[in-house]
Amino acid sequence: MEENIKLEYEPRNGWTCLDENTLKELEAFCEDYKRFLDDAKTERESTEVLVNTAKEAGFSDLNDYLCAKKKALPGTKLYAVNRGKSCAFIIIGKNDPVLGMNMLGAHIDAPRLDFKPKPIYEDSGYALAKTHYYGGIKKYQWVATPLALHGVVFLEGGRKVSVRIGEDESDPVLYITDLLPHLAQDQMVKNGYSLIGAEQLNVTLASRPVLDFEQCDKDGACCSNSDGCCEGEKKEEKSDKSVKKAVLKLLYDKYGICEKDFFRAEFEIVPAAKAKDVGIDRALVGAYAQDDRVCAYTGFRSLLDLKEIPEKTAVVYLSDKEEIGSVGNTGARSCWLENLCLELVSNYDPSYGMLELRRAMTATKFLSADVTAAFDPNFPEVSDKLNVAFASNGISFNKYTGSHGKSGASDASPEFISYVIDTLEKENIPWQLTEMGKVDIGGGGTIAQFMADLGMEVLDCGVPVLSMHSPFEVTSKADVYWTYRAYMAFIKA
């Protein structure tokens, strides 16, 4: 046996793989990442922020190339947007795309509360908004915490109005009440699922009614009346729905929105908290929606920061609707990505068609860039400690996701896993091979299975996360940085 051969596998801690220069690079990268999380709390905002950043870096709209019938030469940087809620970023490689592309795919939607179509009502002196939760949440985590409203509404004639309340320091926040412990005896014996009901996730919007003031004479002088009030005193005009009217008046004055406009709106309730360093050593990042914007951002930056022209065309695809099954025309099950690839193939050679597209898909390597659960020492019983991701040990690879008997998994081939590991080892990037939870406890879906349906080689990989799907998720800065480096190593390979 050779003396230097290591028989046992030991994951490396990502912090110990840094030198002084890479540590500075890590800190700067994570500061950019935190700003992105604060600026992009919805899938629409994520798309807008990333597209604007790409434009500044010299990326052009793919549609402009297609309309002008321009051939995208090696090194051309392109972007494409699907209905404002999903997007893709492309650098054209040196090789024929039929020989395969290198792709990353993450998602930019996140668990949240959506306004119902007719949300606003008044009850007991409060104006409230009814919500419908989106994705897998623990409903009790969304009460008694500061919340913000983000969204868009399309007024008559198609004019788009963006709404964002609760993020600026001067903004008010929104709120969902919880029951005080003194009166919660019945509530506290319920299980976690029913502790807070879906129909109790009603957002407090306002509590002050419309105030109409009668004026006396021009100089404001008062005169006594027999009923004890004067014409110059303030009188509150009573109304059955005066608080609701006050809310609608505020929205109309600021945004031009009437109640009927909620039917043509998309309003989302998200946590109002900013991204913050966690721990006295500042080694962790805490923020909303790191599942899966941590992989979306690191993947995007890996393409944005690429210095050389890649051999293969490199694509970073950011999808919507993953948290509810990748459905709809902006989800990964739609034909949008496939159509995009057909455009790239035919742009390379106008004679290419569906047969060449199928060949390109079969030859394409795809990293399904999604997060996994980090081992939590407060809840060790849910994980197989030999096969779980540990925070700070680098990018985590999941050979398969799904649940129970691998339901909903694509199950990566050992040939492709070997290729990816070898690619990372060449650049000394720490990695770990994991599962998400014990077999009959854990599991979860990603977009991997839908990419595998197109014939691609697919492997799930991403950043380990603590408190996943909560309003404040936590990641290791070391994992964020090394995942960025891993994605860059892959797309340029």
Task: State how far the Cα of 84 lies from the Cα of 29, in Å rounded to an integer.
Answer: 26
**Tens-digit pLDDT profile for residues 22-73:** 999 999 999 999 999 999 999 999 999 999 999 999 999 999 999 999 999 9
477-491 and 414-426 are packed helices; what angle lies between their axes, rounded to 10 degrees?
Answer: 110
By mean pLDDT, which of 184-198, 213-227, 269-283, 302-316 is the weakest? 213-227
What's the start-to-end Cα distance of the chain, in Å?
32
Over range 14-21, report the average pLDDT: 96
Query: Are 433 and 399 spatial neighbours (Cβ–Cβ below 8 Å)?
Result: yes
By mean pLDDT, which of 61-70, 83-92, 205-214, 351-360 is the weakest? 205-214
**64 alpha-carbon distance from chain centroid:** 28
Over range 291-303, report the average pLDDT: 97
Query: Which residue, 430, 433, 314, 445, is CA-closest to 368?
Result: 445
Q: Please name the fold of domain 14-110+288-491.
A: Aminopeptidase (3.40.630)
Query: Higher pLDDT residue, 219 or 198?
Result: 198
Over range 87-101, report the average pLDDT: 97
Over range 327-345, report the average pLDDT: 97
Q: Does position 449 have pLDDT exceeding 80, yes or no?
A: yes
Strands 112-123 and 265-271: antiparallel
Q: What is the pLDDT of residue 474?
A: 98
Q: What is the pLDDT of residue 230?
A: 42
DSSP output for 400-444:
--EETTTBT-----HHHHHHHHHHHHHTT--EEEE-SS-TTT-EE
Query: Are 86 and 104 spatial neighbours (Cβ–Cβ below 8 Å)?
Result: no
Q: What is the pLDDT of residue 249?
A: 92
Q: For all residues of the chain together, what is the average pLDDT? A: 92
Query: Higher pLDDT residue, 437 or 278?
Result: 278
Query: Are 207 and 170 spatial neighbours (Cβ–Cβ below 8 Å)?
Result: no
Contacts of 473 (CB under 8 A, 6+ apart): 286, 287, 288, 289, 290, 291, 465, 466, 467
Q: What is the pLDDT of residue 410?
A: 86
20-39 and 477-491 are packed helices; what angle lies between their axes, rounded to 10 degrees?
Answer: 90
Query: Which residue, 270, 49, 105, 77, is CA-closest to 173?
Result: 270
Q: What is the pLDDT of residue 306?
A: 96
- Of all residues in the chain, the percent with pLDDT exceeding 90 is 85
Question: Quick check: do 14-110+288-491 and 113-271 share a fold?
Answer: no
Q: What is the pLDDT of residue 198?
A: 97
Over range 133-158, report the average pLDDT: 96
Task: State how far the Cα of 196 lies from the Cα of 77, in Å rounded to an integer.
Answer: 48
Query: Higher pLDDT residue, 181 or 219?
Result: 181
**Tens-digit pLDDT profile for residues 342-375:** 999 999 999 999 999 999 999 999 999 999 999 9
Q: What is the pLDDT of residue 3?
A: 65
Q: Please name the fold of domain 113-271.
A: Aminopeptidase i, Domain 2 (2.30.250)
Q: What is the pLDDT of residue 284?
A: 98
Task: State how far the Cα of 118 lies from the Cα of 261, in Å rounded to an integer.
Answer: 9
Over range 414-440, report the average pLDDT: 94
Q: What is the pLDDT of residue 222?
A: 39
Q: Does position 407 have pLDDT exceeding 90, yes or no?
A: no
Task: State how far the Cα of 477 lies from the Cα of 465, in Å rounded to an integer.
Answer: 11
Query: Higher pLDDT residue, 457 or 1?
Result: 457
Q: Does position 224 have pLDDT exceeding 50, yes or no?
A: no
Task: State how far the Cα of 47 lies from the Cα of 52, in Å rounded to an integer.
Answer: 8
Over range 147-169, report the average pLDDT: 94
Segments making up each domain of the chain, as ranges: 14-110+288-491, 113-271
2 pLDDT band, cuts 50/70/90, is low
Over range 285-294, report the average pLDDT: 97
**62 alpha-carbon distance from chain centroid:** 24
Q: What is the pLDDT of residue 402?
A: 81
Q: What is the pLDDT of residue 178?
A: 96
Q: What is the pLDDT of residue 444?
A: 79
